[in-house]
Amino acid sequence: MSKKPDFKKYGFIPQRQPGLLLMRLRNRAGNITAADLCKVAELAERFGTGKVHVTIRQGMEIPGVKEEQFEEARQAVLAAGLLPAVCGLRIRPVVACPGTNTCPYGLVNTEALAARLDAEFVGRDLPAKTKFAVSGCANACTKPQAHDIGFRGAAEPVVDHELCVKCGACVKRCPAQAMAIDNETLAIDYDQCLACGVCVRLCPKQALKTGRVGYHIFAGGKGGRYPNDAALIATFVAEEEVIPYLEAILAVYQELADKGQRLSMVMARHGAAAIAAQVEKVAAAAE
């Protein structure tokens, strides 16, 4: 009997029903055009049961594809210009929120970062499955802290004391209780600040300016049977620095992980601070 193809590498998952596959498709930042939706519908009619399941990580999967049609279905996805998903021990499709594209709270262009991550990283083989999520602000709608590597948009507030009239509006609304008026001066506790941008938006005197803007980067999160919160390992990483920084994280991970070990296990073994320091070293050496 001939060996079966590595279905997961191409985004096909064996179903519980023998001989049938789920055909998974990815997209960029959860976006798909109406025209592409029609193509997905055609594929579902042609190869599956006519049904499409929306996955929790923004993908779509078509159930009921016969194993013997695997190659034909795979080629049809590519010919339609759609993006196949990937599974197994590699970088999985990226989850991202709309960020500054449409969300009023967005601080960064999440869709641009997600597109780069998709083009440059998805499908890369690693010791274990590795998931990325990108969120445009501290609301963290895509749960970056529950992913192997998470990117959360951040904008640093800076007080212009000349303009501040100490009205206290920002103090009341700060979700982190990071602001206070002490001795007639507005102060921000940057250790508590989420860099969420709320205070900058609401100040009636435009006395809060935006300082550094970029991504807070989290590493070592996961869901599943034993969920784990990721550790914050870098702050305000500028958009153009994210890719080299990510390469440094992956280099450290690959060096330290045994097969099957996710980043969370490596971080538990070595400690988040040690991993962050090692990543900094690798990133600096690559500059």
Instruction: Please identify which residue in 14, 64, 88, 98 interacts with ligand SF4, judged by CB under 6 A.
Output: 98
Q: Which stretch binds ligand SF4 (CB under 6 A): 79-87, 172-180, 265-273, 275-283?
A: 172-180
Q: Judged by CB, which is closer to ligand SF4: 114, or 196?
A: 196
Q: Which stretch binds ligand SF4 (CB under 6 A): 53-61, 69-77, 198-206, 230-238?
A: 198-206
* Contact call for residues 131 and 90 (beta carbons, < 8 A): no
Instruction: Please identify which residue in 82, 112, 164, 272 interacts with ligand SF4, judged by CB under 6 A.
Output: 164
Instruction: Please identify which residue in 127, 157, 220, 221 interacts with ligand SF4, judged by CB under 6 A.
Output: 157
Told to check if 126 binds ligand SF4 by CB under 6 A, we report no
Told to check if 208 binds ligand SF4 by CB under 6 A, we report yes
State the Cα–Cα distance between residues 102 and 35, nearest whole angstrom.
Answer: 21
| Chain-centroid distance, C-alpha 168 | 35
Instruction: Please identify which residue in 21, 117, 133, 141 interacts with ligand SF4, judged by CB under 6 A.
Output: 141
Tell me the residue number closest to ligand SF4, measured at CB. 136
**Least CB distance to ligand SF4 at residue 69 (A):** 37
Instruction: Please identify which residue in 29, 133, 196, 246 interacts with ligand SF4, judged by CB under 6 A.
Output: 196
Told to check if 214 binds ligand SF4 by CB under 6 A, we report no
* Contact call for residues 203 and 168 (beta carbons, < 8 A): no
